[in-house]
Amino acid sequence: MTALKGAAIEGFLRRPDPRCRVVLVYGPDGGLVSERMAALVKLCVDDPGDPFQLVRLEGDDLAGDPLRLADEAHTVPLFGGRRVIRVRAGSKNFAAGVTPLLAVPPQDAVILIEAGDLAPKHPLRSAVEASQNAAALPCYADEARDLPALVERSLRDYGLSIDEDAKSLLVSLLGSDRMASRSEIEKLALYAHGRTTVAAADVEAVLADTAAVSLDVVIDATFAGEADVLDTMLRRCLSEGTDPGVLVGAVLRHAFLLQKTRIAIEDGADPASAEAGARMHFKRKSAFQKQLRVWSATALDDAIARLAEAQATVRRTPRIADSVISRALLALALASARR
């Protein structure tokens, strides 16, 4: 069958089609691939910790011995019961070992294959999608429309519900990586343990403050020319699941605010009044004043153009978003340092 999508994937994860003896789980979101593989293993065997029920193989090893997978799949279990053969794809093509199982599916085993981002014409993906005895489950980064359902479903597993204000705030703080989002939701659930509903105050206490502080540091380090601080905090934000699109958007909004204030001052406005109009938090007021001294309105034009280009690139090609963001912000930090 062709690659499943949306609700069809969720339905398959709840009740896998018994005709599909080979399941390929692939995509750029490694956290989501791992999550779905774990869910399938639990559905397909009684005890994932039993090595007789769960056999692990490496795809690179199978590339040199294509018959090994078929031998393993058609082996009659010594003690009966269901078996899973979990294969982790590497850099080598082992589609030749999978093709015979698509033609003659095993009766007592399910082959679960986990892989990274596979091109549409990749031999393994093409073979699985063309077979009626297999299923392909693509795993792409969560989009904004997917996150509310993820939040509700995950908190429900902890016996919690969440009100609409809290859900909106939480979704705005989550990124596109499933594993990072799960981690943040788990922290929130532990914080709310003993209650039945998660409120906006809980989200702010657990997530919002940390996320906001880290983001403020990234912004101020960019426009203050503190490249070392920027590099450290940027890595931390991205590793903790901050969405690159949200990050570059926040930096761009700050650049517009700087430019608006700088133009007012250059047009003759009282600096103190212009700065007050920016409504900057008192803890960041000193940093904002320093940035105004360093950046002219003309220089901010260039900075805004660079950030807008980075934002557009992130939206078009999210796979390279981290690199695009890092390059753009470090370039601005170095320009600020030179000034």
Per-residue pLDDT reduced to its tens digit, 74-88? 887 666 678 899 999
Long-range CB pairs of 145-150, under 8 A, 24+ apart, other chains included:
147/171, 147/174, 147/181, 150/178, 150/181, 150/185
What are the start and end residues of each CATH 1.20.272.10 domain in the chain? 209-338
CA separation, residue 89 to residues 42, 119, 132, 229 (Å): 20, 14, 21, 37
229 — pLDDT class (breaks 50, 70, 90): confident
Fold of 6-138: Rossmann fold (3.40.50)
pLDDT of 143 higher than 80? no
CB 322 within 8 A of CB 244: yes
Query: Which range has the top average pLDDT, 15-19, 80-84, 159-163, 293-297?
Result: 159-163
- Report the Cα 239 to chain-centroid distance in Å: 10
Residue-wise pLDDT for 238-285, tens only, equals 877 788 888 888 899 899 999 999 898 888 888 888 777 777 766 677
161 — pLDDT class (breaks 50, 70, 90): very high
* Across 39-48, 124-133, 155-164, 209-218, least confident range: 209-218
pLDDT of 24 higher than 90? yes
pLDDT confidence of residue 98? 92
Strand 134-138 to 22-26 pairing: parallel
> CB count, 10 Å around CB of 214?
17
pLDDT confidence of residue 189? 92
Q: What is the DSSP letter of 205?
A: I
CB 94 within 8 A of CB 65: no
pLDDT confidence of residue 125? 93
**Does the global pTM surpass 0.75?**
no
CA atoms within 13 A on the CB side of 52: 7
Fold of 209-338: Zinc Finger, Delta Prime; domain 3 (1.20.272)
d(CA 120, CA 107): 29
pLDDT of 124 higher than 90? yes
pLDDT confidence of residue 145? 67
Tokens of 237: 């934000």
pLDDT of 123 higher than 90? yes
What are the start and end residues of each CATH 3.40.50.300 domain in the chain? 6-138
In 3D space, the residue among 113, 117, 109, 32 whose CA is nearest the CA of residue 76 turns out to be: 109
pLDDT confidence of residue 181? 81
Residue 39: partners with Cβ closer than 8 Å, 6 or more residues away: 13
pLDDT confidence of residue 91? 87
pLDDT of 72 higher than 80? yes
Residue 147: partners with Cβ closer than 8 Å, 6 or more residues away: 171, 174, 181
pLDDT of 207 higher than 80? no
More confident: 144 or 194: 194
pLDDT of 211 higher than 60? no
d(CA 114, CA 87): 6
Q: Using the CB atoms, write b or e for 302-319: b if 16+ within 10 Å.
A: ebbebbeebbebbeeebe
Percent of the chain with pLDDT over 70: 93
Place of tokens 């807008």: 308
Mean pLDDT, all residues of the chain: 86
pLDDT confidence of residue 115? 93
